Amino acid sequence: MTLLRDAYITGAGAFLPGAPISNDRIEDHIGRIHGRCSLLGRRALRWNGVRTRHYALDAAGRATDSNAGMCAKAVRAALDDAGLGHADLDYLAAATTQGDYLVPGHGVTVHGELGGGPIEVASFQSVCGSALMAAKAAWLNVRAGEHDVAVACAGEFSSRWFQPGFYEGTDLVDDKGRLAAEADFLRFTLSDGAGAIVVEPAPRPSGLSLRIEHIDVVSLAGAFEPCMWAGASRDDRCDAARGWSQAGPVAAHAAGSIALMQDFDLLKRVIRAWVGVYLKKVDEGRIVPDEVDWLLCHYSAQSLRDELMSLLDKTAGAIPPEKWFSNLDKVGNVGSASIWVMLDAFLKSGRLQPGQKVLCVVPESGRALAGFMMLEAV
Amino acid sequence: MTAVAAMPPRGDDVSDVLRRLAIVFAEFEARLAQTPLIRKLTHGRFTLEDYRAFLSGLRQQVMDGALWMSRAASNIDEEHLELRSRLMRHAVAEHRDFRLLEADYVATGGPLSEIQGAEKNIGSEALSAWMFHEASRPNPFGLLGAMWIIEGLGQIKALEWGRAAQQRLELADEAVRFLVYHGENDAAHIAEFEAMLGLVLPDTAIARRIVRTAEVTARLYVLQIEEIAP
């Protein structure tokens, strides 16, 4: 029997399209519903704390890139960071919330953009958590000896889905021309970009690598209904048989089934469920908060309300604020790509020391999922 | 696996028990959301009859709540007088709450005699029997786990349910006072509960009993909600 190998993150890369866009210029890029500024935007921004973000749509609404194109750039940057070239790549695991096409998958689309010879690919489609699903596949492929150079990438081109055409002429806009909060909120929350990591069976020859200790992805979908979704109306979203393709694209659009939506009432419950999953990991000894030197969490502490922060504190589950590293406020919430964009910035910040432990936490509101990755600097 | 789990925490400190209770509550909440009645509420299919059945179902347990708490207090020995005082105060604060439920019921247009004459459902019977059984034991500290579940419902779920029911059924404020009055969860609530745990912990057997009692109470509470039918 072949023994499992340790596997290491030996490189990271990110691609953020265009210049950083400030809060007052968001709607220049994603557009205004019926030409009117959103009333909700400011509230969303206060909650998510994002100050600048990037869009692959220019001020005229033209695409400057594709999801797969941004992923390919992040993959090249990560390989370059690891001191490897494109030709070294054996295995590509690609994650996204919504790819460029309905068919074929994101993995082959990224490979297409990347070019080059035959490799193994895999596609992971979920929401933010898809990043860790892909990372787990890359890690296990290297661990099992199937491949020596694996890349996990994740990308989002969310702004494309926020253009007025997705909402105008649908049930999501009321008589006064106001967009439903469930849809408008996300327009001021998500933005574009891609990130990638390289996984190899040995640390890089110089500089720090991150040994992957474990990756746990926990879905609670058996007990939760869709909380963030596209492809069904609000009323039909709990019944997958009534998804958008059943009605056809024109009727689905009119019903507001194509836009990306978030259920805020459910989100409050989902957040508590995430905390429950995390505390269970702590209780099982899978995560030992005192041993964590750095926390990279794809969720801002300010978005967790006081009572949850207090709960974490009182259950010996809290990780003190000085150990949190985040760049969400500067680069925006890039969905699945966020954790790699954050890890890339963290590694380049020079903060990490040998022997330190880094915990990455990726909650996904899509249908109540939480992902955890524990790393050790070597 | 090379990733050997680290040593689990010792397990009987206040923070360890609170953590386990938080996990039990999170699983309880997910399970509650799957019950037919709560699904109707969150899916916009809740009717006035459902709301009345809900109030009737809750009344039995709310009425019993102060009673089992009093009984528990009477079984706490003199080594734990502070905890006894707190339970007694708690019981006093809550023992008239079922009247509020009845008033809500009447405000929806339901006859008082109906809610007062309603039978306990199977889940309520089981929950009530379990509570009084536990409360009858000497130093029934496990019931702190039951309080975590039931108080947590009041603090976290009641307002959410009350608002959803009010919105869906266009109810007057007078008809949702019980659910809405319990108010929003706040950090002070956890601190108060933490202080009560501190009166009996650390102690491995008590820690285990508190968590177990929370688990059983949560399951029986779900059964009670499952059994509510208009």
**B4 domain residue, yes or no:** no
**B74 domain residue, yes or no:** yes
**B7 domain residue, yes or no:** no
Query: pLDDT tier at B68 (50, 70, 90 boundaries)?
Result: very high
pLDDT in tens, B200-209: 999 999 999 9
Query: pLDDT tier at A159 (50, 70, 90 boundaries)?
Result: very high
Asked if the model's pLDDT at residue A330 lies above 50, the reply is yes
Beta carbons of A188 and A38 less than 8 angstroms apart: yes
User: Position of tokens 């779920």?
Assistant: B157
Tokens of A173: 């806009």
Rounded mean pLDDT of chain B?
91
What pLDDT does residue B7 have?
Answer: 45
Asked if the model's pLDDT at residue B8 lies above 50, the reply is no
Report whether the peptide linkage leading into residue B202 is cis, meaning its omega lies within 30 degrees of zero: yes
Percent of chain A with pLDDT over 70: 99
Are B43 and A238 a contacting pair at CB < 8 A?
yes
**B128 domain residue, yes or no:** yes
**B9 domain residue, yes or no:** no
Are A266 and B42 a contacting pair at CB < 8 A?
yes
Secondary structure, 3-state, chain A: CCCCCCCEEEEEEEECCCCCEEHHHHHHHHCCECCECCCCHHHHHHHHCCCEECCCECCCCCECCCHHHHHHHHHHHHHHHCCCCHHHCCEEEEEECCCCCCCCCHHHHHHHHHCCCCCEEEEEECCCCHHHHHHHHHHHHHHCCCCCCEEEEEEECHHHHHCHHHCCCCCCECCCCCECHHHHHHHCCECCEEEEEEEECCCCCCCCCEEEEEEEEEECCCCCCCCEECCCCCCCCCCHHHCHHHHCHHHHHHCCCCCCEECHHHHHHHHHHHHHHHHHHHHCCCCCHHHCCEEEECCCHHHCCHHHHHHHHHCCCCCCHHHECCCHHHHCECHHHHHHHHHHHHHHCCCCCCCCEEEEEEEECCCCEEEEEEEEEC
Total number of domains in chain B: 1
User: What is the average per-residue pLDDT within B102-125?
Assistant: 96
Beta carbons of A331 and A269 less than 8 angstroms apart: no
Asked if the model's pLDDT at residue B183 lies above 80, the reply is no
Asked if the model's pLDDT at residue B118 lies above 80, the reply is yes
Give the domain range for residue B75: 14-226
Are B19 and A224 a contacting pair at CB < 8 A?
no
Query: pLDDT tier at A309 (50, 70, 90 boundaries)?
Result: confident
- Cα–Cα nearest to A197, from A80, A298, A299, A88: A80
What pLDDT does residue B184 have?
Answer: 54
pLDDT in tens, A217-249: 999 999 999 999 999 998 899 889 999 999 999
Which chain B residue lies closest to A144 (C-alpha atoms)? B1
Question: Is B188 at the interface with chain A, CB within 8 A?
Answer: no
Beta bridge partners of A150: A91, A199
**How many residues appear in chain B?**
230
Are B22 and A276 a contacting pair at CB < 8 A?
yes
Tokens of B141: 């500290």
User: What is the average per-residue pLDDT within A172-183?
Assistant: 93
What pLDDT does residue A308 have?
Answer: 81
Question: Which CATH number is B58's domain given?
Answer: 1.20.910.10
Q: What angle do CA A335, A339, A341 make, to 5 degrees?
A: 95
**B186 domain residue, yes or no:** yes
Report whether the peptide linkage leading into residue A118 is cis, meaning its omega lies within 30 degrees of zero: no
pLDDT in tens, A195-225: 999 999 999 999 999 999 999 999 999 999 9
What pLDDT does residue B5 have?
Answer: 42
**B5 domain residue, yes or no:** no
Interface with A, mutate which of B23, B155, B166, B192 (most A CBs under 10 A): B23
Question: Is A310 at the interface with chain B, CB within 8 A?
Answer: yes
Asked if the model's pLDDT at residue B22 lies above 70, the reply is yes
What pLDDT does residue A68 have?
Answer: 98
Query: pLDDT tier at B189 (50, 70, 90 boundaries)?
Result: confident
pLDDT in tens, B89-105: 989 988 898 999 999 99
Q: Which of A269, A282, A291 sits opposite B19 (nearest CB)?
A: A282
d(CA A225, CA B33): 10
Q: Which of B6, B30, B43 sits opposite A273 (nearest CB)?
A: B30
Question: Is B40 at the interface with chain A, CB within 8 A?
Answer: no
Asked if the model's pLDDT at residue A332 lies above 50, the reply is yes
Within 190-249 of A, beta carbons closer than 8 Å to B belong to 213-214, 220, 223-225, 235, 238
What pLDDT does residue B11 have?
Answer: 74
Question: Is A272 at the interface with chain B, CB within 8 A?
Answer: yes
Asked if the model's pLDDT at residue B6 lies above 50, the reply is no
d(CA A163, CA A160): 6
Domains of chain A from N-terminus onward: 8-207 (3.40.47.10), 211-377 (3.40.47.10)
Are B194 and A314 a contacting pair at CB < 8 A?
yes
Tokens of B23: 């996990």
Question: Is A288 at the interface with chain B, CB within 8 A?
Answer: yes
Beta carbons of A155 and A71 less than 8 angstroms apart: yes
What pLDDT does residue B187 have?
Answer: 58
Are B164 and A285 a contacting pair at CB < 8 A?
no
CA dihedral B77, B78, B80, B83 (to 10 degrees): 80
Residue A85's contacts (CB-CB under 8 Å, 6 or more residues apart) are A79
**B169 domain residue, yes or no:** yes
